[in-house]
Copies of this chain bind each other. A is one copy, B any other.
Amino acid sequence: MALDKPYVVGIDIGGTNTTFGIVDTRGTILAGGAIKTSKHVEFDEYIGQLYNEITRIVEQENLVGQIAGIGVGAPNANYYTGNIEYAPNLYWMKDGKRLEIIPFAETLREKFGIPVAITNDANAAAIGEMTYGAARGMKDFIMITLGTGVGSGIVINGQVVYGHDGFAGELGHVIMRRNNGRLCGCGRSGCLEAYASATGVARTAREYLETRKDDSLLRNLPLDEITSKDVYDAAIAGDQLAREVYEFTGNMLGEAFADFIAFSSPKAIILFGGLTKSGELLMRPIRESLERNILPIFRGKTSILLSELKEGDAAVLGASALGWEAK
């Protein structure tokens, strides 16, 4: 396929950093960079700096006029409107007021004069996986990001599911424990995210340490400071309690995946994010739990896969993949 404009730009906006890169059709990042998201309080200054930095690398690479589109991944981004809506961690001012609904796609489109599309991080990850990663050739799959929280991007019939309002795919907030569930950041209780995220793993470990009496390497650490990384290290060192934290987490993910499969019967569920570094510690209990919990007609049909995108590049790659379909 000879493309007239064979490159896209991906931009990933986080509360701390905004990273970006120029990407080709095969998912190679030719050049990239980053700016501090919160350096400028004025939205126009932030956009100005982002524009200058991206323009600089595009010129450096001699790619002026060869960028097909820009894709943006950002929290609370709405694909339909192109806006970032009420994102708690993004603070910009315009005309003396906080911008709560940020017309991000439109602003960039006017600035660069090329097509821009925007979606949330997990949807961007799903598109990235479909374009360059483990979901190439798949029309039906679910991307689950297991990081600080639990995010999801759902693909059905080859299209990301946005729902009627642009906000579909909040699988971190299905309720897994209806009685006495853990309080979640969303204000409700018992959400998947409160258990199966990196913070959830640390919470489970602290719960076990408080309610059980058995020895554990984790008892050498101050209870309130235990992280999912500590739990991982202890589990790798053979610590039984830490291993049971992974059993519990994987078991719940398997239960949740069985319900997701009853909904959209995906070819694969693809996992991405910090928690997946625990490998078989988490994957084995997920697979075993899924096998126990799945509706018989779906048994053995859905693969549980790990992302094939390099973690450091995935956010920019995912966002960039959206650039190919930007209009």
Contacts and interface: CB of A to CB of B under 8 A. Distances in A.
Interface of A: 138-140, 154, 156-157, 159, 161-171, 173-178, 186-188, 255, 258-260, 262-267, 293, 295-298, 301-302
Q: Is the interface of A mostly helix, strand, loop or mixed?
A: loop
A298 B167 contact: yes
B165 A301 contact: yes
A266 B163 contact: yes
Among A170, A171, A176, A177, chain B packs the most CB atoms within 10 A around the CB of A170
How many monomers of this chain does the complex have?
A: 2
B263 A165 contact: no
Given A139-B164, A167-B265, 9 more contacts: A156-B159, A161-B264, A162-B265, A164-B265, A164-B266, A167-B298, A170-B297, A175-B258, A188-B295
B295 A263 contact: no
A24 B28 CA distance: 54
Contacts of A263: 154, 161, 168-171, 174, 260, 263-264
B259 A174 contact: yes
A161 B266 CA distance: 10
Nearest to A191: B295
Contacts of A164: 138-140, 265-267, 301-302
Contacts of A174: 259, 262-263
Contacts of A156: 156-157, 159, 161, 163
Contacts of A166: 265
A-B complex: 10 closest residue pairs judged by Cβ atoms: A163-B265, A168-B265, A164-B267, A170-B262, A140-B164, A174-B259, A173-B295, A168-B264, A173-B262, A167-B265
Contacts of A171: 262-263
